[in-house]
Amino acid sequence: MAKKNNAPDKRQRLFVFNLGLLFYRRARRILEAHGFDVKFGIPRQDTDMIGVWGRKRTSLRGRRVAARRDIPLLTIEDSFLRSVRTGRQVWA
């Protein structure tokens, strides 16, 4: 994303604990298009957020960190991505 007029980048840092959110290109592109800077690690600033993938067991770590640090939690679902085209249509 290009910076305009030398203004600092105002992207919201979103920390994830599920590697699928880092490597699933479509979900990551959507998050970045909405102004999130997706990172893996521990949030340190008051403005940071934590992102988890649905309500699966893999989201427990992120939920616990968000609760302990009193940080906003963003739950991401991919059902809308899958509903655009089914797996059969993609590979047919």
Summarised one tens digit per residue, pLDDT across range 49-76 is 999 888 878 789 899 999 999 999 998 8
Q: CB-hemisphere CA count at 13 Å for 77?
A: 4
pLDDT for residue 7: 47
- How many whole angstroms separate alpha carbon 29 and alpha carbon 83? 17
Closest CA to 13 of 40, 45, 63, 48: 48
User: Domain-by-domain residue ranges, the chain?
Assistant: 12-91
> Does 13 have pLDDT greater than 80?
yes
By CB atoms closer than 10 A (0-12, 13-18, 19+), residue 10 is exposed
- In this structure, which amino acid lies at residue 71? I
More confident residue, 11 or 36: 36
**Residues near 7 by Cβ (< 8 Å), separated by ≥ 6?**
none
More confident residue, 6 or 44: 44
User: Is the full-model pTM beyond 0.75?
Assistant: no
> Does 8 have pLDDT greater than 80?
no
